[in-house]
């Protein structure tokens, strides 16, 4: 049976463009190494209808890239993304309007020279969700639903605060009547005082519209608040995926533990903390990741085996998936 939304073995590589110098060097017989970054490295995820999957990880681990592949903005180098069993993208073209995105930076994601009302109306008119004649009323309705005064529709983006802009960006995405909403750090660039308002708006709309969401964030407390399940990403790979409470109460992967331990707000008991320093060491370069488990160089539990071959993401108990040879026992929590 097909899941509602499936990301299957998705790989996304970035290659720096081949320079003239490289070409000449290659002609002359020099060995030009093709440096490519696997920003997303063999990721599989499934999402049930109406559920929210949180995606966490440090900056640069590939969350946005995965989000863009899932949203049909970037074509995957390998693998497929399916919504209701149909590919979101074929031949580098997005095939559906049912997946929409809210971007991280509302100062960059709105066209500075287009009235915000027109920006919200553009997609729905283009795809026949509303006629040009009814577009005005449609837009005003969406403005009201995201908590903006409808008279603001005639304004330009520079006349709004960050929080208001993000409401507009949410209205623009939802006016396309998506079934799946991808939120890439939607509150990361907002003032802390505004974040809660936007999150609450998001929760209200999600309930009213029965939305399925992929919620990307590096802020674990936000993800814990909004997600049904959480996936943890490290250097392009998913290292652990589990129901939200199980993941936070009993993280199985050493990286998840380190990540959770590094949240200042969460009070863990001291015994779990003394074992290791939260995330010591550097993230390996994505250009030349180590063989084996990418987290091994920083992992307090790493053995020889970890440095040789990478562990698969295996299902353990209660729908938890973890990629570790030595997952921390989670029996205590269950």
Partner 1 sequence: MSASDTQSPLRLFWREFSENKFAVGSLVVVVLLAVVAFLAPLLVPQDPYNLELLSLLDARRPPGFVGSGGYVHVLGTDPQGRDLLSAIFYGLRISIIIGLAAGAIALVLGTIVGIFAAYAGGWIETVLMRVIDLQLSFPAILLALVLVALLGQGKGQLIAALVAAQYAYFARTAYGAAKAERRKDYVEAALATPLAGYKVAVRHLLPNCMPPLIVVATVQIANAISLEATLSFLGLGLPVTEPSLGMLISNGFPYMMSGRYWISVFPGIALIILIVAINVVGDQIRDQFNPRLRK
Ligand X SMILES: Nc1ncnc2c1ncn2[C@@H]1O[C@H](COP(=O)(O)OP(=O)(O)O)[C@@H](O)[C@H]1O
**Least distance to ligand X, CB of residue 60, Å:** 5
Would you say 30 or 108 has its CB closer to partner 1?
Answer: 108
**Is 112:157 a contact under the CB 8 Å cutoff?**
yes
**Least distance to ligand X, CB of residue 80, Å:** 19
Q: In the block, which residue shows the tokens 């802020």?
A: 219
- Binding residue (CB under 8 A) for partner 1 from 110, 135, 250, 323: 110
**Is 326:333 a contact under the CB 8 Å cutoff?**
no
**CA end-to-end span of the chain:** 28
Dihedrals φ, ψ of 54, to 5°? Answer: -90, 140
Class of residue 296 by CB neighbours under 10 A (exposed 0-12, middle 13-18, buried 19+): buried
- Residues pairing with 45 in the sheet: 7
The Cα angle at residue 233 between residues 42 and 331, in degrees rounded to 5: 105
Would you say 143 or 295 has its CB closer to ligand X?
Answer: 295
Q: Which of residues 6-25 bind ligand X (CB under 6 A)?
A: 14
Dihedrals φ, ψ of 72, to 5°? Answer: 75, 20
Which of ligand X, Mg ion, partner 1, none does residue 43 bind (CB under 5 to 8 Å by kind)? none
Q: Which of residues 273-292 bind ligand X (CB under 6 A)?
A: 286
Q: Indicate the angle between helix axes 162-174 and 132-145, nearest 10 degrees.
A: 130
Longest dimension (CA), the chain: 67
**Least distance to Mg ion, CB of residue 226, Å:** 17
Would you say 145 or 298 has its CB closer to ligand X?
Answer: 298
**Least distance to ligand X, CB of residue 55, Å:** 9
Q: Which of residues 35-94 bind ligand X (CB under 6 A)?
A: 37, 39, 57, 59-65
**Least distance to partner 1, CB of residue 225, Å:** 25
Stretch that binds partner 1, among 50-58, 147-155, 209-217, 309-317 (CB under 8 A): 147-155
Would you say 29 or 92 has its CB closer to partner 1?
Answer: 92
Q: Does 158 bind partner 1 (CB under 8 A)?
A: yes
**Least distance to ligand X, CB of residue 258, Å:** 17
Q: Which of residues 27-66 bind Mg ion (CB under 5 A)?
A: 64
**Least distance to ligand X, CB of residue 10, Å:** 12
Q: Does 132 bind partner 1 (CB under 8 A)?
A: no
- Binding residue (CB under 8 A) for partner 1 from 53, 71, 183, 247: 71
What residues have CB less than 8 Å from 208, skipping those under 6 apart? none
Size of the site for partner 1 (CB under 8 A): 33
Interface contacts to ligand X, rule CB under 6 A: 14, 37, 39, 57, 59-65, 286
Name the residues that contact partner 1, by CB under 8 A: 71-73, 93-94, 97, 100-101, 103, 105, 108-115, 122-123, 126-127, 150-151, 153-156, 158-159, 169, 172, 176
List residues near Mg ion by CB under 5 A. 64
């Amino acid at each position: 049976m097909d899941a509602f939304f499936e990301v299957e073995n998705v790989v996304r590589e970035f290659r720096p463009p081949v320079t003239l110098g490289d070409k000449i060097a290659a002609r002359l017989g020099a060995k030009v190494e093709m440096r490519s970054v696997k920003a997303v490295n063999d990721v599989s995820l499934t999402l049930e209808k109406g559920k929210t999957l949180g995606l966490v990880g440090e900056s640069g681990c590939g969350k946005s890239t995965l989000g863009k592949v899932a949203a049909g903005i970037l074509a995957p180098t390998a693998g497929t993304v399916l919504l209701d069993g149909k590919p979101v993208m074929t031949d580098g073209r997005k095939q559906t309007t049912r997946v929409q995105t809210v971007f991280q930076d509302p100062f960059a994601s709105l066209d500075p020279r287009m009235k915000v009302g027109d920006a919200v109306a553009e997609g729905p008119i283009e795809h026949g969700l509303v006629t040009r004649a009814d577009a005005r009323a449609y837009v005003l309705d969406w403005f009201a639903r995201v908590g903006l005064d409808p008279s603001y529709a005639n304004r330009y983006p520079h006349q709004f605060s960050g929080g208001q802009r993000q409401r507009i960006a949410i209205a623009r995405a939802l006016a396309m009547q998506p079934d799946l909403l991808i939120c890439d750090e939607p509150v990361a660039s907002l003032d802390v005082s505004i974040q809660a308002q936007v999150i609450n708006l998001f929760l209200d709309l999600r309930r009213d519209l029965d939305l399925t969401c992929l919620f990307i964030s590096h802020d674990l407390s936000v993800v814990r608040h909004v997600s049904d399940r959480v996936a943890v990403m490290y250097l392009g790979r998913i290292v652990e995926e589990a129901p939200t409470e199980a993941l936070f109460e009993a993280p199985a992967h050493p990286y998840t533990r380190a990540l959770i331990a590094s949240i200042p707000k969460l009070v863990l008991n001291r015994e779990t903390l003394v074992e290791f320093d939260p995330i010591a060491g550097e993230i390996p370069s994505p250009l030349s990741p180590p063989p084996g488990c990418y987290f091994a160089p920083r992992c307090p539990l790493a053995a020889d085996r970890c440095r040789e071959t990478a562990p698969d993401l295996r299902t353990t108990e209660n729908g938890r998936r973890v990629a570790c040879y030595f997952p921390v026992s989670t029996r205590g929590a269950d």
